[in-house]
């Protein structure tokens, strides 16, 4: 079931109405049934995978907590890791690694083919796998106690607002909330609706409209050069931001309506002044997961310098692989890993140059230049993220520097859609700027009710007039 579908617009109000109508002790049952139904609307067969992960990690968590034997505890953790990552590998990566091995064999004239199964990728498997893995790892590290109520733990794994595309929640945050009783609260529900509305605006007004142009260029890379390529990549930079942060806003807003607080997943990432800050603002639930469970486990920065660089780089390469079974995603992760390592390596030199040039004497200009440089670096990486193959990514990158006057003229013949696209991006940047610098949300909350409802009505009208009504999947469903 998609958030941007008629089915969800019927499903969600019914769930909320029942949630506040029934006694608190039965609410977990309602939410668990609703979550399983929500997932099974996509493909009922794959609910089995969620159940397997749930049972394995529920049992592993309890046994890990009870055991004092170091060897037994390692085996229990290994059982959880093997089951969850094994399912993830089989459905998401088996064919990718098989194709890679086959290509390698062909280079050496070895006549053997790893079979390809071409399985349908279970939606959300990367998200709920990481969410439930963090639970068992935290118990193994004695940072978390187990949840003995199987129903509530099953709900933690499958909570429908964030089940298929995050935020990737931690058990220490979400599990205790399932025991709390939340009353109907007008102000909280109003805020949740506004946040969902903002998410829908980003998804169906901005992202889906930009996607129409992006798909044409990126699916036909040899047919476009120069300005069309630049605009397509610029559009994709905002398409993926609006698509994914839009989903997060809808998920967080839906949870807020019922009383639950999910973690913030995006904080205006295109206002970041360096790549490190970008990753403190972009897909926060995933970047902190990799920081806590991969980067720190490798040794973090508590090692010699070359190993520190290695830990950073490998973490981002693995992060790229998490996003998809394609070398384009690995390249994208490697690019960001290189950016961070290079930034650390050149830090003293850049600080010295800034002091010599006295750029800091103009803080506003200096900040703007940093934002633009950071966006440009992220822009380059998005080429590899969106391209269908590494070869096509290189073609698109090369064609950025080729000017085709005829294509440019043809591009601007469809002025209405282009104009709406650029205006929608300008609106997004303006609102993010006001939120970044002037705390727009807090100021809007101080407005009289009549102005708030008028603003909601205005944005609702904008959504209905300018939305692209085609019920497209959210981009991160493929991950």
pLDDT at residue 458, rounded to an integer: 79
Taking the C-alpha atoms of residue 64 and residue 143, their distance in angstroms, rounded to an integer, is 12
- Nearest of 469, 476, 477, 473 to residue 6 by alpha carbon: 469
Question: What's the sign of the alpha-carbon dihedral 55, 58, 59, 64?
Answer: positive
Q: How far is CA 351 from CA 122, 169, 345, 357, 358, in A?
A: 47, 37, 12, 10, 10
Asked if residues 270 and 298 have their Cβ atoms less than 8 Å apart, the reply is no
Phi-psi region for residue 168, left (φ > 0), alpha (ψ -120 to 50) or beta?
A: beta
pLDDT at residue 406, rounded to an integer: 63
Asked if residues 210 and 242 have their Cβ atoms less than 8 Å apart, the reply is yes
CB atoms within 10 A of CB 63: 17
Sequential DSSP letters for 462-477: HHHHH---S-PPPGGG
What burial class does residue 452 get, using C-beta atoms within 10 Å of its C-beta: 0-12 exposed, 13-18 middle, 19+ buried?
middle
Asked if residues 126 and 89 have their Cβ atoms less than 8 Å apart, the reply is no
Q: How far is CA 358 from CA 21, 300, 353, in A?
A: 64, 33, 8
pTM of the model: 0.92
Residue for token pair 């720190």: 296
Identify the active-site residue in 24, 149, 283, 323.
323
54: CB partners within 8 A, 6+ apart? 132, 153, 154, 157, 158
Asked if residues 99 and 116 have their Cβ atoms less than 8 Å apart, the reply is yes
Q: pLDDT truncated to tens, each residue of the chain (479 aa)?
A: 788 888 999 999 999 999 999 999 999 999 999 999 999 998 888 999 999 999 999 999 999 999 999 999 999 999 999 999 999 999 999 888 888 888 787 777 777 777 777 778 888 899 999 999 999 999 999 999 999 999 999 999 999 999 988 799 999 999 999 999 999 998 899 889 989 999 999 998 999 999 988 999 999 988 888 888 999 999 999 999 999 999 999 999 999 999 999 999 999 999 999 999 999 999 999 999 999 999 999 999 999 999 999 999 999 999 999 998 899 999 999 999 999 999 999 888 877 877 777 776 777 888 899 999 999 999 999 999 999 999 999 999 999 988 766 666 566 566 777 888 899 999 999 999 999 888 888 887 777 877 777 877 877 787 777 777 666 666 655 65
65 is catalytic: no
Taking the C-alpha atoms of residue 434 and residue 110, their distance in angstroms, rounded to an integer, is 60
Q: How many CA atoms lie within 13 A of 85 on its CB side?
A: 10
pLDDT at residue 402, rounded to an integer: 84
Taking the C-alpha atoms of residue 128 and residue 142, their distance in angstroms, rounded to an integer, is 21
Cis amide prior to 167 (ω within 30 degrees): yes
Taking the C-alpha atoms of residue 61 and residue 53, their distance in angstroms, rounded to an integer, is 12
Token couple for 245: 């942060």
What burial class does residue 67 get, using C-beta atoms within 10 Å of its C-beta: 0-12 exposed, 13-18 middle, 19+ buried?
middle
Phi-psi region for residue 452, left (φ > 0), alpha (ψ -120 to 50) or beta?
A: alpha
- Name the CA dihedral angle for 259, 263, 265, 270, rounded to a multiple of 10 degrees: 100
Taking the C-alpha atoms of residue 218 and residue 271, their distance in angstroms, rounded to an integer, is 26
Token couple for 117: 């199964």
Taking the C-alpha atoms of residue 12 and residue 2, their distance in angstroms, rounded to an integer, is 11
């Amino acid at each position: 079931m998609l958030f941007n579908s008629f089915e969800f617009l019927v499903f969600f109000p019914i769930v909320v109405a029942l949630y506040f109508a029934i006694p608190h002790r039965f609410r977990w049952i309602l939410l668990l049934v609703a979550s399983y139904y929500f997932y099974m609307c996509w493909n009922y067969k794959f609910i089995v995978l969620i159940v397997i992960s749930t049972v394995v990690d529920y049992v592993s968590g309890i046994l890990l907590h009870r055991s004092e034997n170091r060897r037994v505890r390692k085996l229990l953790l290994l059982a959880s890791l093997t089951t969850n990552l094994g399912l993830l590998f089989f459905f998401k990566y088996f064919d990718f690694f098989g194709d890679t091995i086959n290509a390698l064999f062909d280079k050496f004239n070895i006549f053997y083919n790893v079979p390809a199964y071409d399985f349908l990728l279970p939606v959300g498997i990367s998200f709920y796998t990481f969410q439930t893995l963090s639970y068992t790892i935290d118990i193994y590290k004695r940072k978390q106690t187990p949840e003995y109520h199987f129903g509530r733990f099953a709900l933690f794994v499958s909570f429908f607002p964030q089940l298929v595309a995050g935020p990737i929640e931690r058990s220490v945050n979400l599990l205790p909330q399932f025991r709390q009783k939340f009353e109907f609260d007008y102000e909280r529900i109003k805020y949740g609706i506004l946040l969902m509305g903002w998410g829908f605006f980003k998804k169906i007004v901005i992202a889906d409209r930009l996607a129409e142009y992006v798909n044409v260029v990126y699916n036909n890379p040899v047919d476009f050069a120069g300005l069309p390529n630049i605009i397509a990549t610029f559009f994709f930079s905002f398409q993926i931001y609006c698509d994914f942060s839009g989903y997060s806003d809808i998920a967080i807003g839906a949870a807020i309506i019922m009383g639950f607080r999910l973690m913030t997943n995006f904080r205006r990432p295109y206002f970041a002044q360096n790549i490190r800050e970008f990753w403190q603002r972009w897909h926060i639930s995933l970047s902190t997961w990799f920081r806590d469970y991969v980067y720190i486990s490798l040794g973090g920065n508590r090692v010699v310098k070359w190993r520190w660089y290695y830990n950073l780089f490998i973490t981002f390469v693995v992060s790229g692989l998490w996003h998809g079974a394609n070398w384009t995603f690995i390249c994208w992760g490697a690019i960001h890993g290189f950016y961070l390592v290079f930034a650390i390596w050149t830090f003293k030199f850049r600080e010295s140059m800034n002091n010599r040039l006295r750029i800091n004497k103009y803080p506003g200009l200096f900040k703007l230049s940093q934002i633009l440089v950071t966006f440009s670096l992220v822009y380059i990486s998005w080429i590899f993220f969106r391209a269908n193959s590494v070869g096509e990514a290189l073609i698109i990158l090369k064609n950025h520097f080729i000017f085709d006057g005829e294509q440019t003229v043809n591009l601007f013949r469809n002025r209405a859609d282009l104009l709406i696209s650029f205006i929608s991006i300008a609106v997004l940047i303006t609102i993010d700027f006001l939120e970044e610098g002037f705390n727009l949300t807090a100021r809007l909350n101080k407005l009289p009710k009549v102005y708030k409802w008028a603003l909601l009505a205005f944005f609702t009208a904008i959504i209905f007039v300018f939305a692209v009504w085609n019920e497209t999947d959210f981009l991160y469903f493929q991950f």
